[in-house]
Amino acid sequence: MKSKAIRLALLVLLLLPAATMAQTDKFLSSLAGEWHGEGKAFGGAALMQIRWEWVLNNKFLRLSMKNEISTPNGAKQIFEGQAYYREAGVDKYAAHWFDSRGTTFPIRAQLDGNTLVAWWGSPETEEGKSTYQLIDNSTMEVVDSVKQKDGTFREFGRVTLKRK
């Protein structure tokens, strides 16, 4: 009986860090799940799918994004990307982005109320900003902007998603 209790206690101790790690950041945890929605990107209609999920022993929240964009001439373009987010201080996050263009760059992000603001890129590649605003528990708005030469941001995509 004593050895069963010891084994059970050890099992609980081994599982506890993995079970609680994903809960260390309440806001990131609120993003977890699948999201689907419609909007505009590059002047055409866009169908976006996003999945936020805890990976790598719950050390990172992975964003997987697929965007099907209709061009003005009626053709369809698929753009996909992934980012791995982790805490980097109170309401601050660090991530790295990889996409179907073969582009990769760093992301620094900060929580602003119910919005994750992610500044991405570098002067050597491209720079921009993406915001992930939780409207409510089942609705998210994603707005993507690219930094212009004069330092201002030009919006190139806006999608409203619903949690699946």
What are the residues whose beta carbons fall under 8 Å from the beta carbon of 59, sequence distance 6 or more? 21, 86
Looking at per-residue confidence, does 14 or 146 come out higher? 146
pLDDT at 72: 80
Contact 153/50 with Cβ under 8 angstroms?
no
Give me the domain span that covers residue 88: 25-163
With respect to residue 78, please indicate whether it lies within any of the assigned structural domains: yes
With respect to residue 18, please indicate whether it lies within any of the assigned structural domains: no
With respect to residue 11, please indicate whether it lies within any of the assigned structural domains: no
Q: What angle do CA 32, 48, 61 make, to 5 degrees?
A: 25
- How many of the other CB atoms lie within 10 Å of CB of 101? 9
With respect to residue 19, please indicate whether it lies within any of the assigned structural domains: no
Q: Which residue has the tokens 């506890």?
A: 16
CB-based burial, 74-98: b 16+ in 10 Å, e otherwise: eeeeebebbbbbebeeeeebebebe
With respect to residue 12, please indicate whether it lies within any of the assigned structural domains: no
With respect to residue 10, please indicate whether it lies within any of the assigned structural domains: no
Residue 130, pLDDT above cutoff 80: yes
Looking at per-residue confidence, does 11 or 117 come out higher? 117
Q: Kindly state the percentage of the chain with pLDDT values over 90.
A: 78
Number of domains, the chain: 1
pLDDT at 25: 81
**CATH number, domain containing residue 61:** 2.40.128.20
Tens of pLDDT, residue by residue over 3-38, are 454 443 333 334 444 443 444 588 999 999 999 999
- How many of the other CB atoms lie within 10 Å of CB of 51? 17
Tens of pLDDT, residue by residue over 35-73, are 999 999 998 999 999 999 999 999 999 999 999 999 888
With respect to residue 151, please indicate whether it lies within any of the assigned structural domains: yes
Q: Give all strands (DSSP E) within 24-138, no chain letters.
A: 33-41, 44-55, 60-70, 76-87, 92-99, 104-112, 115-121, 127-136
